[in-house]
Amino acid sequence: MQHTSCTEDRIQHALDRCLDGSQSMNRWSLEELVKRDPDNFIILLQQILRKTKEVQERCQYEMVAPLAIMFTSTLLQTPYCPPDMELLESAMEVFSAFITWPEPYYSVCRNLLSTLQLEIKAPISFQRLVREEQDLNTSCHFSKTTVLLMNPSELPADFMSVAEQLSCVQHSEKDTYITLIKHAFQSTLGTKYPLCGIHSTLQDELREIFSTVSGVFETAAAMSEPLEGRGHVIQELEGLRERLSIPASNGMLQTFPIPTAKCRMFHWEKDNFGADSDFCEDSDDSISSPKPAKSSSRLSQHLYRLLRKPKRTINRAKSLGDTESKDLSVVREIRSNSLPHHVQLRSPEPSSFQVPPNQTVRQVCFRRRPILSCDEDEKSTTLRVVVFGADHVAGKVARAYSNLREKESACPRLSQAFKIQFYFMPVKRDSNGAEDSTNDIAHLLGMLDPWYERNTLSLLKFPTNIVCQQTSKTESESYDSSYEQRLPILADLILYYCRYAARPALIQLYQAELTLASGERRREVFVHSLELGHTAGTRAIKAMNASKRFGIDGDREAVPLQLDIMYNRMVISGRSQCKRESKMCTSVNLTKACKNPEELSQLECLQLSMTEVLKRQNGKNKKSYNMHLSLTEVKVDKVVVSGAADTTFAVCLDQDEKKVLQSVICEASVCSKPNSSSDWRERHAEMSAQIQPLHPTFCSLLCLPIVTFSGVLP
C-alpha cells in the first residue's frame, strides 16, 4: 500500500510538472515513468481526472485541451481498464462539462467523448490506430501514411539519421497480427488468460483470426448500447478461445507499445510536392528518395501507388479549391481554426492598385472566420506530410501548397483520394545564412496552441545531440519481447505530434505580383516575409559564399534606392488608410506582424519596415555613406513598391536565398481563394443580414493549414 501511495505521488508530481512546465521533456519523462508498471496507466488516468476537476473549478481554460489529449494518449496505451471501476464513465461525466465551452475546447472534448463511448463498448482505439498506421487490410480499411520531407543540405546530420531510422522500421504482418490479437484478449478480459498461451496457439490462420477479431470489435462499436457491445466482445472472444484451445489460467498484465508508424523519407528542395496531374509520369526531380536503388525514386510515384487502391466517393475540401460545394445555407458550417479576420480590400480591378482621386478604399465585411472545409465523406487515406525547418521552409511549403491547389482545381485527383495534413517541426537552420534565419511561424503556432509550444516548439531549446541520441529500454521493457528497439527522443516527439495533433491552425498566405525588368509579370506566394533591396541582396551574396569577394556592407554603406511606396495602413478601428510616399531607402521589408499575443487578432496583417536614408555624405575615398537612417514600421495589408526609371532591386521570399528575384515593381497583398468573390456575389441575395458583406466583393482568404494539437485558443 505504501509503495502504491509513493507511486501515485510521483506520477502526480510528474503530471503537474508536465502541465506547468514548458518543455516537451516533461511529458516524455512522465510517459517513461508510467511505462515502468502496467498498473501506472490507471493511476495516471485517475490523476488526469482529478486535475481536470481542479481546472474546471479554477477556470484554467488553457489546461483543458492538454488534459483531454493526455487522457486520450494514456487511455490508448492502458493495458486493461476494469469495467467495474467505471473509470471511463467517470471520464465522460467530467469532460462532458466542457461541451458547452467555445472552440477549441468543444471539439477536443467531443473527440475524447466519442473515443470513450467506443471504449466502453470495446477497447478498439488501439486496434484502429495500429491497423491504420501499419496499413493492414480489413473490411473497414482506413490508412494513415506519414511522409517526412527533409533537405539534407539544411538539416543537422543527426536529424537526418533519426528520420532514416524511422523510415527503416518495418513490422511484419505476422507480428502485428499477433500483437493485436493478444491486445484484444487482454484489453477485454484482463489477466484471465496468459498471453504466452495465446501466443503459442497463434501460428496458423493468423489473417483469418485477425479478421475475425477486427470484425467483432467493429460490430460492437456500432451497437447502440454499451453493455450490449461489451457483452458481444466477451462472448465472441470466449468462443474464439475455445476454438483455438487456449489454456485457461491466470496471467499477468503486459504493456503493448504502439508499433512505430510506417514512415517514408524523401529529399525535398523545391517549391512543389512533385504531384503532377499524371502520377504515372516520373518527371519531377524536385522530390527524390534518398535510396534510389531500393525504392521508387519519387514521392509522386508513391502517391500513385496509394491512389490505385479503391476509394470511397468523397467531396473535395474547400481548402483545396472546391468551387461546386453545396449552398452554405444547407450545409452546416464548421468554424475554422484561425482568429477573426477583418481585411480591407477594394473591388476587383486591374492589379495596378492605383486609387483614383474620387475613389476610396472600401470596407469589406468578412465572415468572422474563413471557411476551411465543409462536412464531407471521410477519406479512407490520410496523408501526413511532416516538414522540418525554419521560416524559409515554411515558405517552401506555402508555395507548394498554393501550386497544389491550382493543380487540384483544374484536375482534382490528389484531394479526392487523400485527406492531406501538414505538420511543421521547427529546426534551427544548419547552413549559410543560419544567423539571419528565424522560426517565427513556429512561435506563432506556439502562441496559438500552448500544447504545440510545449511538445514541438520546445524542441529548439535542446541540443541536437540530446534529442537525437539513442535511448535505452527500461527494466520492464528489457524483459518484454513485444517492445521493439527504442528510438531517439526526437522520433517520439514526431510520432506524438502526428498521432495526437488533430486540428489545423490557419496561417495566412500572401501574394507578391512582380514585374521583372524584362516586362514579365509573375505571381509568387510567401507566408513569413518579403525582403526588398539591400537586405535581399545581402542574403543572396551570403548564400553564394561570396561575402569576402563582393563585400557585405551594412545599411550605412548600402546604395539607396529612390522608391515610390503605396500601402494600406491598418488602424485600430479595423479600417485601412491608403497612403503614398516617395522615399530614398536601402531596404523595404514585409514580415508577418504577429510577434506577440496582443497582435493575434490581426493575423492577416504585415509589418512594413522601411529603412530610409535622411542624409548622405561623400567620403574622402569617393565612397558615399548614409549618415542618417530612419526606420519606419507600419501595419499594412497591401503594399506596392516601384522604383524610378531603370531602377531595379532584389526581392527575397521567406528568407530563402534561392527565391531572390530582380524586379521593377512589387505588389504584395493577402491571398484569397480563386473564384471566391464570384461565388459569394451569386449568393448575395440568399445570405442573411448577419453575414452579408457590405460590398459585393467577398474574398475567402487562402491559408496554409498546419496541424496543431488543439487548434487556436479563443
As a whole number of angstroms, the distance between CA 71 and CA 68 comes to 5
Q: What is the pTM of this model?
A: 0.83
Helix (H/G/I), strand (E/B), else coil: 581: strand
pLDDT score for 559? 78
Q: Quote the radius of gyration of the chain (alpha carbons, Å).
A: 28
Judged by phi (left if over 0) then psi (alpha if -120 to 50, else beta), residue 389 lies in left
CA distances 537 to 138, 372, 551, 553, Å, are 56, 37, 11, 11
pLDDT higher than 50, residue 328? no
pLDDT tens figures, 494-518: 999 999 998 999 898 999 998 887 7
Architecture per CATH, domain 510-596+604-613+628-670, reads as Sandwich (2.60)
Q: What is the largest CA-CA distance in the chain?
A: 100
CA distances 689 to 334, 369, 699, Å, are 19, 16, 18
pLDDT tens figures, 344-389: 333 333 333 343 444 343 333 333 344 443 334 566 788 999 999 9
pLDDT tens figures, 451-488: 999 999 988 888 888 888 877 665 555 445 555 678 89
pLDDT score for 407? 84
Kindly state the cell numbers that stand for 126: 488501439
DSSP per residue, 471-499? PPPPHHHHT-TT--PPPPHHHHHHHHHHH
CA distances 24 to 21, 41, 393, 452, 514, Å, are 9, 19, 23, 9, 42
Work out the angle at residue 699's Cα, subtended by the Cα atoms of residues 695 and 703, and round it to the nearest 5 degrees: 155
Domain spans of the chain, in order of start: 1-121, 142-169+261-271+365-469+485-508+695-713, 172-258, 510-596+604-613+628-670
Kindly state the cell numbers that stand for 692: 452579408
As a whole number of angstroms, the distance between CA 148 and CA 267 comes to 8
Q: Per-residue b/e over 245-263, b at no fewer than 16 CB within 10 Å? A: ebeeeebeebbbeebbbbb
If one counts every other C-beta atom within 10 angstroms of the C-beta of residue 567, the result is 27
Q: Is residue 259 reached through a cis peptide bond, with omega within 30 degrees of 0 on the bond before it?
A: no
Q: Are strands 606-618 and 624-643 parallel, antiparallel or unpaired?
A: antiparallel
pLDDT higher than 70, residue 677? no
